[in-house]
Structure formats: structure tokens, C-alpha cells
Amino acid sequence: MNLTQLLKPLIEQRADPYIYRHTDGYYYFTASVPQYDRIELRRAKTIEGLASAQTRDVWRKPDTGPYSELIWAPEIHFNQGAWYVYFAAAPSREIKNKLFQHRMYAIRNENANPLEGQWEFMGQVDTGIDSFCLDATTFTHQGQLYYLWAQKHEDIEGNSNLYIAPMKTPWQIAGAPVMLSKPEHEWECRGFLVNEGPSVLKKNGKIFISYSASATDHNYAMGLLWADENADLLDPASWHKADQPVLQTCFEHKIYGPGHNSFTVAEDGSTVLLVYHARTYTEIVGDPLWNPDRHTFVKPLRWDADGMPDFGRPSIA
């Protein structure tokens, strides 16, 4: 990827992007659409092919009910022989106690191609904490499926913290949530106190969790947690947290508020790619939430001599 490619969005107006490369050789893509009214999937044999791939709306919100508004941050995963999309949804656009009322849900498709077949609504993924929550992801490590997400705790100031729990099934957790991180550094508390959008990368004997922090304008930035691959992932003491953001606004190249990322692998099967959204201007009118111009970008991830990821700048490989 040259600088021109890195400065150009892969897909415009798609926030919270998630790209997964499956064993069938296809890349699968989903993201928040500007209308927040549906879950959209596309697939292609190459990363660049996703930009022009035909889209399919696999699920649309109902007109009323607990999950009838603001469909946010879907992710597609292949867990235990079936496809799942995890997403957050709210009963309305009403704000209560300074927050929306999102909870997390899952849908399932047992077809080999998730753009075909039927998607089954599996219901709410109940964490045992009845509060604003969003941005769920899953990963399997040493045979155990884990759920990782962002949620409000009534005793902790701010919008959301990061939690992990083991899963009993791909739509049910098996244990009490364990908090891994909360907004505490200045760069995590600009505009709003936020830790959200976790994404998992396993490499070099470590489990890495990237996440996003602060308001969703140019202040949005990414942080990093990591643990040894043989550590107890449900013990908060196993995790280390970077003091500084690992990816933030690049004023030089006019890429603002990078965040809500995912990781995938390039066509060579080994190069780790960072997938994230960002804006290309700062003059946002009104609430940034309703501005559609968060675009999907992709860049290679580099590694330092200690085996740690080097995120660089959003516009530089």
C-alpha cells in the first residue's frame, strides 16, 4: 500500500468496520451504516474487492421494541460451526441518565455463505449487568470462547468500561463479567469518559486488545492492553495497559479521530492489517454521532523489536 492508498478510504461512510477472513478464502465485511437501521454484509476475495462488492441487508430493525433503534457496531464471527453477528441496539433514541439505552444482541446463520440462508435472532446477550452496553466481540483462546465488550457501571464515572467473560454458547456468557479497563488517562476522557470498541489480536506469545477512547470527533483515539498468552485472561492483574494512545489524529494528512478498529490478515496470509474508521475533516455540524462521514481505512501493522505492535500514524504504513 502506498501513501495515496493509505490516505484514501477503502469504503466511505462505514463506521465501526469489521473485516474477517474466513477459511473459504473470502473476506467478510460489516459496519455501522449511517441510518443505524440494519445489518449489512459484503464479501470479496480481496480487501480492495470489498469496496465494490455487492451488499446484502441480512437483518433490519423492527419498528418497535427493545432493539428497534440505533443499530450499532455489528461484528461477524464464525463460532462453533455457525455464523454470528453481534450488535448493539436500543428501544428508542431517548437518552436516560446521560446515555442511550443500548443492550447487546446476536443473530445466527448456519449456511456456509452468510450472505445466503436465513438469519435467526438469538436474543439479548445478557451480561448480568443491566446498563448501557455495546461493541461486543468474541475470540477463542486455548479452546475457550470469550466475550469482550464495553459497558457502563453505575459506580464508575463515564460512559463505558471494558469487560471480559467466558461464554457457555456463542450467545450466552458463562461467568461473571471481569473489568479490564476504565477511562483514567487524560486522552481517554476528552469530551466523554469512554473505553469501547475492543478488538483482539493474538501474536508473538501475547493477547492484544486494542480499544477506543474519548468523544467520537477528532479526539477519538486508540489504546492498547496486552497479556501473556498463557496468563489467566480473567484475572485483571494479567493485563497491562499503555499509558499513551497507540493511534490518534494525524493533522498533517487530515485524518481525524481514528478508532473502533478490527484486525485482519492480508492476502499473503501473514501481514496483519489494521482496519479502522476515521474522518477527513473536523468541521462537524451538530452531534458527531449523526455525521455520516466516518470512513473505513486499512493499513498494515508493524512490529517493534520486542514483538509489540507499532500502529504508527493513521496515514502511514
Catalytic residues: 16, 196
- Buried/exposed 162-179: b ≥16 CB within 10 Å, e otherwise: bbbbebeebbebeeebbe
Dist CA 111 CA 78 (whole Å): 11
Paired residues of 107 in beta bridges: 85, 121
82: exposed, middle or buried (Cβ count in 10 Å: 0-12, 13-18, 19+): middle
CA dist., res. 268 & res. 278, Å (int): 26
Element (H, E) at 3: helix 3-7
CB-based contact 211:162 (threshold 8 Å):
yes
Edge-to-edge order in the sheet of strand 195-203: 195-203, 206-213, 221-228, 240-241
